[in-house]
Amino acid sequence: MLERIKNHIREFWFSYLLSSLAIYFITIRGSYTFLDFIDLLIHEPGHLIFSLFGEFIQFLGGTLMQIILPLSMAIIFFIRGNKYWTQVFLFWLGHNFINISVYVDDANKMKLRIIGGAHDWNWILNRIGFIEYAEEIALVFVGMAIVSFLFMFFIPYFMREYDKIDLV
């Protein structure tokens, strides 16, 4: 029995560490942290990159970049069999979903300081006629954060018998 507990701790210690941080970030949702600054550095270039696909996608581009970058890195590290980096990027994805939820929630309140002029989610939700549902849409992003954090927690279980696949 003691050996099973030791093996569990050995296998899941990083999950517990990152889950503690995830709970912290969920409970302080809306407070600005250093990770939010990093998210912003990823968000803003997304507008430039996605501007090639029209105005609507340009406004959505910052959010898309916040999702695509950590998700693609998590997938790459999962395929390579590196559970720790997979967990780090799933954690970051979850944090980005929390960050996005705050931005979406502010779409009809307009209290956040905005870099570059327009409020992306105010513009997007007004454009599609869902501005009155900003708070509910924000909660969907919180739910996506929780799902991300749950996947992050269980990565050691999913990768328990995982053989590294060399795709290159």
- Confidence at residue 43, expressed as pLDDT on a 0 to 100 scale: 93
Both tokens of residue 130? 């869902």
Which has more confidence, 106 or 168? Answer: 106
Model pLDDT for residues 48-99, shown as the tens digit of each residue: 999 999 999 999 999 999 999 999 999 999 999 999 999 999 999 999 999 9
- Confidence at residue 112, expressed as pLDDT on a 0 to 100 scale: 86
> How many CB atoms sit inside 10 A of residue 76's CB?
14
- Distance (Å, rounded) from C-alpha 83 to C-alpha 20? 18
* Gap between the terminal Cα atoms of the chain: 41
Over 70: is that where the pLDDT of 9 sits? yes
pTM of the model: 0.90
Over 60: is that where the pLDDT of 102 sits? yes
Confidence of residue 10 (pLDDT cuts 50, 70, 90): confident
- Confidence at residue 2, expressed as pLDDT on a 0 to 100 scale: 83
> How many CB atoms sit inside 10 A of residue 114's CB?
12
Both tokens of residue 91? 């954690």
Q: Are 147 and 91 in contact (CB under 8 A)?
A: no
- Confidence at residue 162, expressed as pLDDT on a 0 to 100 scale: 56
Spatial CB neighbours of 123, under 8 Å, sequence gap ≥ 6: 59
Model pLDDT for residues 114-130, shown as the tens digit of each residue: 877 789 999 999 999 99
12, 17, 61, 43: which is closest to 112 by C-alpha? 43
Radius of gyration of the chain (CA): 18
- Confidence at residue 116, expressed as pLDDT on a 0 to 100 scale: 72
